[in-house]
A and B are shown apart, each in its own frame.
Chain A
Amino acid sequence: MLWQLLLFVWMSLVIVAGFLYAPLAEKLYEMTRIIYFHIPAAWVAVLAFLVSTVFSIRYLATRAWGDDARAAISAELGLLFAVLATASGAIFAKAMWGAYWNWDPRETSIFLLLLIYGAYLTLRSAVEGEDKRARLAAVYNILAFVTVPFLVFVVPRLYFSLHPDPLLNAQARLEMHPRMLQVFLASLAGFTMLYFWIFDLSWKVARLKRKQEEAP
């Protein structure tokens, strides 16, 4: 209970600091603040995919229902955060570049992540039988995962990008102010904790449901 409270205070502070403490970046004006919410959401969407794949691989090795359940939970959470990142990104794109959608390489990647999550969850709903569902879903998840590097590293090379890249790009066009970096990293940590907390809650619910089903 203590650390949930701590997380609540932490995230509240991040929101306040994003508006009052951190300075604005050059050329981005008021839109700077999206850095503190959009990027962490996108990061969690990718992290959730990674966690989901790790559990899928584990499922194929152990064949334990819990591994499959956790892969599914992580995929559902990833879908949620991917939607958040896509929606906030589209609003930013409208304000910055004049259109909600431009098929910018990063827009393409996050859209693809959405499609993969959607396909994975659709496949789960289309297969009957717990073992078979778990097996097929795990295979699909891993196959999708091995093609992701192509998106992250290859597609951006083929298309011109407008995307501001403050952290990942070596010759960054936007220099991050120390204060901005503090708030950004704090938000990144907060979002990551939030993800693990929801993940843990869903996993508890799944275990309780399972127990209830098995009880006579």
Chain B
Amino acid sequence: MPWVEGVLAVFLKDWRSEFRTRYALNAALLFAVTTLVVVSFAIGAFGISGDLLAAFLWVVILFSSMAGLGQVFIKEVESRTFTALRLVARPSEVWAGKFFFNLVLLLGLEVIIIPLFFILLNPRVSDWGGFLAILILGSIGLAGATTLIAAIIAQAKGKGALLAGLSYPILIPLLAAATSGTRHLFRGDGSAGQETQILAAYAVVVITAAFLLFEFVWSE
């Protein structure tokens, strides 16, 4: 089977099994919506500045991704399909398939929480193209790092808590660049060009490293 078809097969398998239960999406979405509403409610009628909104947006994205993105590998262990998948697909196909699945999941999550964020907290954006670029590049880096770490923690004890603990140290450069760029756009001073470049570089580095390293996580 050619590589692309293998990747697609893994992706579609996860897609189908996710939409039978919608577990990962529901967990992440519930978390994101609850957090947004609770914070918006707590702020009440007082607006908060663009600086804080930028940080808040990325914290919500980061935390909701922790609630959902780990499932791709945890579910393989829980349903005892880990070994079967190892037999039928090459490591790079598994990684790429799971990565695209996580990326689609994350972008789907953002399609719902970003409009909600704008409705509830009403930030002003000076450059929509720049904002979308940061959002998409940030999501690619986030999904890339989290997918590899999810494969690691699926084989460890105490999975849920470990995913966040292991991911944050690696995601902090991404978080720093993404919040800094978003802050510029929400405040309307300067462009986020530098941050966009950093996020692109981060995504390339993390995905390359994950491709090279995944085989060691996956095969015994």
Contact = CB atoms under 8 A, between A and B. Distances in A.
Contact of A128 (B157, B177, B217): B157
A189 interface: no
A194 interface: no
A108 B169 CA distance: 11
Q: Chain A: interface residue count, which band?
A: 20 to 34
Interface string B20-39: 00000000000000000000
B220 A139 contact: no
A153 to B, nearest CB: 10
Interface string A46-63: 000000000000001000
Contact of A147 (B155, B180, B202, B217): B202
B47 to A, nearest CB: 24
B17 interface: no
Nearest to B154: A136
A143 B156 contact: no
Contact of A142 (B168, B202, B209): B209
A2 interface: no
A108 B173 CA distance: 10
A92 interface: no
A179 to B, nearest CB: 38
Interface string A113-142: 001101100110011100110011011101
Interface stretch (A12-20, A23-31, A74-82, A154-162): A154-162
Given A115-B169, A139-B216, A147-B206, A127 B149 contact: no
A1 interface: no
A39 interface: no
Contact of A140 (B149, B206, B220): B149
Contacts of A128: 157
A146 B157 CA distance: 25
Interface of B: 145, 148-149, 152-153, 155-158, 162, 165-166, 168-170, 172-174, 176-177, 180, 194-195, 198, 201-202, 205-206, 209-210, 213, 216-217, 220
Given A116-B169, A155-B173, 15 more contacts: A108-B172, A108-B176, A112-B169, A115-B168, A122-B162, A123-B166, A135-B216, A140-B152, A142-B209, A150-B173, A150-B177, A151-B173, A154-B177, A154-B198, A159-B176
24 contacts: A60-B216, A116-B170, A119-B166, A122-B165, A123-B153, A126-B156, A126-B157, A126-B162, A128-B157, A132-B155, A136-B156, A136-B217, A142-B209, A143-B145, A143-B170, A143-B210, A146-B205, A146-B206, A147-B173, A150-B174, A150-B198, A150-B205, A158-B177, A158-B180
Interface of A: 60, 108, 112, 115-116, 118-119, 122-123, 126-128, 131-132, 135-136, 138-140, 142-144, 146-147, 150-151, 154-155, 157-159
